[in-house]
Amino acid sequence: METSFNKRLVFWGACAGMLLFGICFITLGSVTIHLKSKFNFSDLQIGSLFAILPLGIIAGSLFFGPIVDRYGYKWLLFASALGLAIGFYGIGNAQSVNLLRIAVFIFGFGGGAINGATNALVSLISETNKVANLSLLGVFYGIGGLGMPLVLSSLTTVAGPEQIVTYISVLALSIGIVLLFLHYPPPLRTTPISLKQATSIFKSKLALMITAFMFLQMSLEAIVNNWTTSYLTGFRGVSEEKALIGLSFFVGGITLMRIFVGSLWRNATERALIATAMVLLLVGSLTFLQSSIWYLYPGLVLFGAGIAVGFPLMLGMIGSLYQEMAGTAFSVVIVIGLLGNLGLNYLMGFVAENFGIQYFSTAILIIWLLMVLFSFLIFKRNSK
């Protein structure tokens, strides 16, 4: 690989892009009340708006891989940041519902592309310590996700949601311009990737098992993000305010673990990382059976710490398996994971509606068991 680029600058540029994705992922939920008031939306209309965002993210995640493999990262990262800037501005300033929907889709598309591209880029420039560097990259997703609600709540006395989101669009554009002037690794390929080459990923049993693990990992993360509050308030008798605080502990656990893996535990083996993750997830899952905050809050931190490991670990393995088409391989794996995120989330909704929210903890333990099974199969296969 050519080294006519500064790896450190490229890494921090990727972190800035991931920060934008963290802000992107949480923004729509953070301004829901404002949008409902501005457009007089019903809950059903807000729900349909929320459905546009993951569609955009999936489209962007599918698009980025073949582009970066063939043409490199510069223009893709700039275009993604520009899409986020347009999306932020549109969400803050759209005067019609149709314009708002278009803005949300562009927003999601840019977010999906920049998330996949920054992960693929960090994997590419990390000849060693891929998992550690991908974990550090993920820290910036947590900073963006935790920071956006804090910014909105702390600035409400001096600026409204529209102004704040507009200012963030300027930040996104500024980061895009910075990304445009960085030097990146050259494209991995001189010819476009065909559909046959892209789907060749499914011929590898190891890649299939990693993809299945990612499907379960992202499904579990979605269920916990979206249903923990309902479970704690509706079945465990926890107040809504305390349940929402619990979600912050969950995100905090993810962020702290990724800092730990990216710094003090940089040289941990893949087996040690996945074993630790599975133990943390099990202990965290068992605390959902308690109603006391003294158990739930630490349990949510541990659960978040367990969730934090799987994503960078599996992407690091995929990046090592498909060095000649890492971007495309990342696209395939991330999109399948996102489909799991959507599918299992809707399935949990069906279960909660028809059988009761108490089955939330059961669903988590079932997914955990499947993740343990695939972890065993992945490392057994990888050792061969």
CATH number at residue 239: 1.20.1250.20
Domain with 331, as residue range(s), is 197-382
333 and 238 within one domain: yes
Backbone phi, psi, residue 337, to 5°: -65, -40
How far is residue 12's CA from residue 143's CA, in Å, rounded to a whole number? 14
Using the 3D structure, point to which of 130, 159, 188 is the last residue of a domain.
188
Going by C-alpha positions, the residue among 81, 38, 83, 262 that lies closest to residue 178 is 81
- Whether residue 337 is contained in a domain is answered as yes
Q: Which residues contact 251 (CB under 8 A, 6 or more apart)?
A: 142, 145, 146, 304
324 and 259 within one domain: yes
| Spatial contact of 342 and 54, defined as CB atoms under 8 Å apart | yes
- Whether residue 2 is contained in a domain is answered as no
- Whether residue 290 is contained in a domain is answered as yes
> Would you state the structure tokens that stand for residue 284, as one six-digit string?
């965290």
- Whether residue 93 is contained in a domain is answered as yes
109 and 247 within one domain: no
320 and 175 within one domain: no
291 and 262 within one domain: yes
CA distances from 45 to 42, 51, 229, 361 (A): 5, 10, 22, 29
Using the 3D structure, point to which of 158, 188, 218 is the last residue of a domain.
188
The residue behind tokens 């972190």 is 15
- Whether residue 159 is contained in a domain is answered as yes
For the whole model, what pTM was predicted? 0.84
- Whether residue 1 is contained in a domain is answered as no
- Whether residue 18 is contained in a domain is answered as yes
Using the 3D structure, point to which of 188, 209, 233 is the last residue of a domain.
188
115 and 246 within one domain: no
- Whether residue 143 is contained in a domain is answered as yes
| Spatial contact of 152 and 161, defined as CB atoms under 8 Å apart | yes
184 and 306 within one domain: no
Q: Which residues contact 19 (CB under 8 A, 6 or more apart)?
A: 140, 141, 143, 144, 175
The residue behind tokens 């993604």 is 80
Backbone phi, psi, residue 355, to 5°: -125, -20
207 and 85 within one domain: no
* Domains: count for the chain: 2
What pLDDT score was predicted for residue 278?
94
Cβ atoms within 10 A of the Cβ of 77, count? 28
Going by C-alpha positions, the residue among 113, 106, 55 that lies closest to residue 84 is 106
226 and 354 within one domain: yes
182 and 210 within one domain: no
292 and 207 within one domain: yes
What pLDDT score was predicted for residue 219?
85
How far is residue 328's CA from residue 189's CA, in Å, rounded to a whole number? 11
323 and 275 within one domain: yes
Residues of the chain with confidence (pLDDT) below 70? 1-3, 28-30, 32-33, 43-47, 50, 148-149, 152-157, 240, 244, 291, 383-384
Going by C-alpha positions, the residue among 285, 269, 294, 287 that lies closest to residue 362 is 285
